[in-house]
Amino acid sequence: MPIEVGQATPDGEFTLLTAECLGSCGTAPIMQVDEKIDRILAELA
pLDDT tens digits, one per residue of 1-45 = 789 999 999 999 888 888 777 777 778 777 777 778 888 888 888
Task: Note the pTM of the prediction, 2 decimals.
Answer: 0.50
What number of other Cβ atoms are within 10 A of residue 6's Cβ?
9
SS3 category, 15: strand
Q: Give residue 10's pLDDT.
A: 93
Q: Give residue 25's pLDDT.
A: 72
Q: Give residue 3's pLDDT.
A: 92
Which structural domain, as residue segments, surrounds residue 28? 1-45
| H helical segments located in 1-45 | 37-44
Q: Give residue 45's pLDDT.
A: 81
Q: Give residue 26's pLDDT.
A: 77
Number of domains in the chain: 1
